Amino acid sequence: MNSEILQLEFPSQLYERIEASLIQQLLGNDIVVKNYDEYRTMTIEALTLLIEFRYGRAGNRNERGQYCHGFHIRIHCLLPRSAERAFLQVLDSIAVIERFIDRNCWGVDIRQIDMPEFLRTEPSELQYQLEQVIGRAVSWRQNLYLGEPLIQPDEARGGIAWAVNPEHLDDADEYQPLEVKYASGN
């Protein structure tokens, strides 16, 4: 996976990072990773992960003034019932994915993404819709703060300096550092 820190502009960028992470860092090229909306047009023949973004909602702005976009994200893990020990393979895969989500390893600037909330594993409703498939899902709530910060960072202060009636207010040479000789701790 690309090790550079991603600055989020759109939710689809997080989707792409999740997709790449699942393949490259976790489960390898032997799995199929698709968008949830594609399940109606595909046949599950191997371990398949479907990424679903649901329930966009507003939240509080962060300390940099960025608007909060909250999503309920779910990753469905599906495997044909005909696979050897299918339920256990799905269970093991979902446990690995759950731990990975908990560590928030998507490579996104931490000021733009909160830690995952309400992380849980549950049966995937797709196992009831698709015949001959075992399915579990990991779901969580994820807050994203997209785009540029609206609040500029505070000016860095190097200390306190003073001058008596300086001729040029912007000339740093006319000021001297403030020294406190009798303050507590000196």
For the ranges 6-20, 37-51, 58-72, 143-157, the lowest mean pLDDT is seen at: 143-157
Tell me whether residue 20 is exposed, middle or buried, using C-beta atoms within 10 angstroms of its C-beta: 0 to 12, 13 to 18, 19 or more. middle
E strand map for 68-180:
68-80, 117-123, 133-145, 161-162, 176-177
78-100 per-residue burial string, b: 16 or more CB within 10 A, e: under 16: bbbeebeebeeebeebbeebbeb
pLDDT tens per residue, range 164-185: 888 888 888 888 887 766 656 5
* Contact call for residues 20 and 1 (beta carbons, < 8 A): yes
Q: Which CATH architecture has domain 11-145?
A: 2-Layer Sandwich (3.30)
Report the pLDDT averaged over residues 23-29.
76
Tokens of 30: 């032997």
Tokens of 67: 């608007």
DSSP string, 103-129: TT-S-B-TTSBPPPEEEEEEE-THHHH
Between 163 and 10, whose confidence is greater? 10
Report the pLDDT averaged over residues 124-140.
90
Calculate what percentage of the chain has a pLDDT beyond 90: 43
- pTM for this entry: 0.76
* Contact call for residues 105 and 20 (beta carbons, < 8 A): no
- Average pLDDT over the chain, rounded to whole? 86
